[in-house]
A and B are shown apart, each in its own frame.
Chain A
Amino acid sequence: MMVENSMPTLSRFGIGFLAGMEWKPAQEEFGALPFIYGTVVSSLIAVLLAVPVSIGVAVFLVEQAPKSVARPIAFMVELLAAIPSVVYGLWGIFVLAPFIREYLGPFLQTSLGFLPLFQGRLTGIGMLTGGIILALMITPIVTAVVRDVLEAVPVTQREAALALGATKWETTTIVLGNAASGIAGSVVLGLGRAIGETMAVTMVIGNSPQISASLFEPANTIASLLAANFAEATDKLYLSALIEIGLVLFLVTFVVNALAKLLIMSVASGPDRAKHT
């Protein structure tokens, strides 16, 4: 159905739709590349920020903290997952964006300003803000999954390491080794969530169809483009373009998940896989 409804743009732009840099509905010019770029980059920022934090929190909860401390923290982390995304978006506009504009942005520009990533004007609204909001949103779910994976590691593995004179930290690395494939799975889950997230990103990313090396510049993602424009797309070609880009979102998600699965297989290969044979 999606393919059928996107026929007008498919036949008019062909493959050029994917590579097109311009998105000007008024002039009937539709190129999806800025949105694909925005989706992939904002999700990558989110995963890069969220995964180390999530693993750290999960390790703390499972391996280090006493039960009396771990329980309430775990509960609060899970509570974070239940906050509506529009609330994250508002928080992004009122708290995170000014923070980036006044503090984080200037700091990054003075310390790492030689990188094109951190050049350009600072409005507080843009790719970085979107990525950070996404990171906050996926951290609870990734943490919860990693926690479950760590708890599933048999206690005999911990005892084996301890009995060899391993310190607490060395034992933790053994546990992480056991959990590697499960952790990779949680990353995929987080990535999928980040790619598909709509509302919070729409509110802080700037909604500007451009590709810029700078993370401070506004950008846009496929999901937020759809959310913001679908209702007002009356023109047939415009509607077709939106549907086609929805199709692209579907494909991007598919490709990213496939790549992640490959990654998991390479991480989990060797000793770990023998368990299933």
Chain B
Amino acid sequence: MQNKISISNLNFFYGKAQALYDITLDIPEKEVVAFIGPSGCGKSTFLRTLNRMNDTIPIARADGTVTIDGENIYAPGTDVVALRRKVGMVFQKSNPFPKSIFENVAYGIRINGIHSSKSDLNHRVEKALHDAALWDEVKDRLSSSAFGLSGGQQQRLCIARALAVEPEVILMDEPASALDPIATQKIEELVVELKRDYTIVIVTHNMQQASRVSDKTAFFMLGKLIEFGPTYKMFQNPDEKLTEDYITGRFG
């Protein structure tokens, strides 16, 4: 399996405070990698270095390299807008725009000029909603407000919105932490579905979720990568004592 993303010796700082220490990690193409660890361990920060979302924080600084398809995204002159189109993101709290369901999904297509015609736009929106397993629930009310949807539907709408710009990687920051069990299950099924076409990195607090959806799991603590390996091994026979303690619930 080819590596989609390679991170080497990544250190990350908020001002003087160091948030990530010397992370080296390879994320294979078209697999699901889960990041687990206690709150504040840096897993979300790490996720946000992969599409340079931390750039919005003025005092944030990253050292080291993150290469996607062989290109270092922290090299000077990197087109961050193009990077983020390639590396989509779904957030912890669903954040649809104050627009209709259709316009939410169409937005990314429009700003990136992906569509060739009006009918192509309609087609792409429909496909994205299909891929996010939302189409059947919203096809009769595409022009109504996105805020009228339930929490789980809003989160799948945000996934559809991310899919619509045809990314290659999707970063998910605790996408189901605010949802009920049924909505969570739908998101998890969706993640497994999406693996066929996308490389997925998912941050989660929920260990069962990591074990259900991911191929590989990375365990973080206090800004350090403690252990990274195949999910089944991490959960059954981890190399590190810390990993075992965390997974069996002895702390965290």
A→B interface (CB under 8 Å): 66-67, 154-167, 170, 174, 177-178, 270-275
CA distance A177 to B89 in the complex (A): 21
A165 and B165 form a contact (CB under 8 A): yes
Task: From A167, A170, A275, give the contact of B98 (CB < 8 A).
Answer: A275
Please give, as numbers and ranges, the residues of chain A lying within 8 Å of B56 by CB-CB distance: 155, 158-159, 162
Q: Given contacts A67-B58, A160-B91, A160-B95, is CB(A165)–CB(B85) below 8 Å?
A: yes
CA distance A269 to B54 in the complex (A): 34
B6 at the interface (CB under 8 A from A): no
Least Cβ–Cβ distance between A102 and chain B, in angstroms:
45
Q: Given contacts A177-B97, A271-B100, A275-B98, is CB(A166)–CB(B111) below 8 Å?
A: yes
B147 at the interface (CB under 8 A from A): yes
Please give, as numbers and ranges, the residues of chain A lying within 8 Å of B24 by CB-CB distance: none
Q: What are 16 A-B contacts defined by CB distance under 8 Å?
A: A67-B58, A156-B91, A159-B56, A160-B97, A162-B53, A162-B56, A163-B91, A164-B84, A164-B107, A164-B111, A165-B84, A166-B81, A177-B98, A271-B145, A274-B148, A275-B147
CA distance A65 to B98 in the complex (A): 25
CA distance A166 to B93 in the complex (A): 19
Please give, as numbers and ranges, the residues of chain A lying within 8 Å of B187 by CB-CB distance: none
A274 and B84 form a contact (CB under 8 A): no
Please give, as numbers and ranges, the residues of chain B lying within 8 Å of A155 by CB-CB distance: 56
Please give, as numbers and ranges, the residues of chain A lying within 8 Å of B107 by CB-CB distance: 161, 164, 174
B84 and A170 form a contact (CB under 8 A): no
B99 and A177 form a contact (CB under 8 A): yes
CA distance A157 to B85 in the complex (A): 16
Task: From A67, A156, A163, A165, give the contact of B112 (CB < 8 A).
Answer: A165
B84 and A162 form a contact (CB under 8 A): yes
Please give, as numbers and ranges, the residues of chain A lying within 8 Å of B158 by CB-CB distance: 160
B97 and A163 form a contact (CB under 8 A): no
A164 and B53 form a contact (CB under 8 A): no
B37 at the interface (CB under 8 A from A): no
B81 and A156 form a contact (CB under 8 A): no
Nearest-CB residue, chain B, relative to A270: B145
For chain B, residues 97 to 119, give those with C-beta under 8 angstroms from any C-beta of chain A.
97-100, 107-108, 111-112
* Besides A166-B81, A271-B98, A272-B98, 16 other A-B contacts (C-beta < 8 A): A67-B58, A156-B95, A159-B56, A160-B95, A162-B84, A163-B51, A163-B88, A164-B84, A164-B88, A164-B107, A170-B111, A174-B97, A271-B97, A273-B145, A274-B145, A275-B98
Nearest-CB residue, chain A, relative to B149: A274
A165 and B82 form a contact (CB under 8 A): yes
Please give, as numbers and ranges, the residues of chain B lying within 8 Å of A165 by CB-CB distance: 81-82, 84-85, 108, 111-112, 165
Least Cβ–Cβ distance between B170 and chain A, in angstroms:
10
B134 at the interface (CB under 8 A from A): no
B202 at the interface (CB under 8 A from A): no
B145 and A164 form a contact (CB under 8 A): no
Q: Please name the 6 residue pairs, one residue from A and one from B, whose CB atoms are nearest each other, closest first.
A: A165-B85, A164-B108, A163-B89, A271-B145, A274-B145, A156-B95
Q: Given contacts A67-B58, A159-B91, is CB(A164)–CB(B165) below 8 Å?
A: yes
B162 at the interface (CB under 8 A from A): yes
Nearest-CB residue, chain A, relative to B85: A165
Nearest-CB residue, chain A, relative to B148: A274
For chain B, residues 178 to 233, give those with C-beta under 8 angstroms from any C-beta of chain A.
none
Please give, as numbers and ranges, the residues of chain B lying within 8 Å of A66 by CB-CB distance: 58
Per-residue 0/1 for B73-100: is the Cβ within 8 Å of any A Cβ (1 yes, 0 no)? 0000000011011001101010111111
Least Cβ–Cβ distance between B106 and chain A, in angstroms:
11
B27 at the interface (CB under 8 A from A): no
Task: From B95, B99, B165, give the contact of A154 (CB < 8 A).
Answer: B95
Please give, as numbers and ranges, the residues of chain A lying within 8 Å of B147 by CB-CB distance: 271, 274-275
